[in-house]
Amino acid sequence: MKTVLAIRHVAFEDLGSFAPVLAERGYAIRYLEAGYDDLATLDPLADDLLVMLGGPIGVYEQDAYPFLGDELQLLQARLQAGRSTIGICLGCQLIAHALGSRVYPGGTKEIGWKPLTLTDAGRAGPLAAFADQTPVLHWHGDTFDLPAGATLLASSDRYPHQAFSWERHALALQFHIETTAPGLERWFIGHACEIAGTPGLNVPALRAATADYAAVAMVRGQQCLTAWLDQLAP
């Protein structure tokens, strides 16, 4: 059986709607918890797919969170070996840094539901499911420089680098297409301090937007993952 390893930074940011797609495709799913499980002893190439999930810390905070260095080494080994890898939010930024790019605080936080602007490559690939301007969930304050040799797939009105691919085997998404409406209720609790501290942001408004957009975005996200997995097939 194929295996997928998901590295999780906070309990409520998980594979979400990606999990049933992966299970249907024959993947056995396991999670490791960053900061708790020993990532330094992992065989970086053992799993058929690695998904590096999101979290409320910065790639540049390795002094405070030393496990980030282990994650970067893990990603570098997989990218160099051509092993299938997905990064979401923090995971996207970690992939960018593993490929030699700078990750840094952006000028403003981007939190909420907004559409993407796809590049030609984005419209021709798995993200084509979002070409109809279906809003996706953004939840980040950091950004990154596009790695040399990467293919830009999507931008937003605030940040030019929202998604990229690296060769055929790596997909990096700064936004969230794996979330579900019920799952986001845990986000609203877990990110309560950030929500309260961000001008113009509040839980009732986020919940209302989630009711408007999450169901369609979930279907599109599953379509995106399915299309990406399809293109991995030899």
Give me the tens of pLDDT residue by residue for the chain, a chain 234 residues long.
999 999 999 999 999 999 999 999 999 999 999 999 999 999 999 999 999 999 999 999 999 999 999 999 999 999 999 999 999 999 999 999 999 999 999 989 999 999 999 999 999 999 999 999 999 999 999 999 999 999 999 999 999 999 999 999 999 999 999 999 999 999 999 999 999 999 999 999 999 999 999 999 999 999 999 999 999 976
pLDDT computed for residue 62 by the predictor: 97
Task: Give the active site residue among 89, 161, 169, 224.
Answer: 89
Residue 182, burial from CB neighbour count under 10 angstroms (0-12, 13-18, 19+): exposed
Q: Under DSSP, is residue 168 helix (H, G, I), strand (E, B) or coil?
A: coil
- The answer to whether 5 touches 34, Cβ cutoff 8 Å, is no
Phi and psi (nearest 5°) for 179? -80, 160
Catalytic residue status for 176: yes
Domain hosting 17: range is: 2-232
What pLDDT, on the 0 to 100 scale, is given for residue 10? Answer: 98
| Per-residue pLDDT at 191 | 97
Number of domains, the chain? 1
* pTM for the structure as a whole: 0.97
Residue 134: per-residue pLDDT:
96
pLDDT at residue 190, rounded to an integer: 97
Give the per-residue SS3 of 125-152. Answer: CHHHHHCCCCCEEEEEEEEECCCCCCEE
Given 140, 161, 176, 191, which residue is catalytic? 176
Catalytic residue selected from 13, 71, 110, 178: 178
Q: Token pair of 135, please?
A: 């809003």
Looking from the CA of 200 toward its CB, the CA atoms found within 13 Å total: 5
The Cα–Cα gap between 118 and 151 comes to 12
The reply to whether 167 belongs to the active site is no
Q: Which residues contact 143 (CB under 8 A, 6 or more apart)?
A: 93, 103, 104, 105, 106, 159, 161, 174
Checking DSSP bridges between strand 84-88 and strand 170-173, what pairing results, if any? parallel
Domain harbouring 139, CATH code: 3.40.50.880
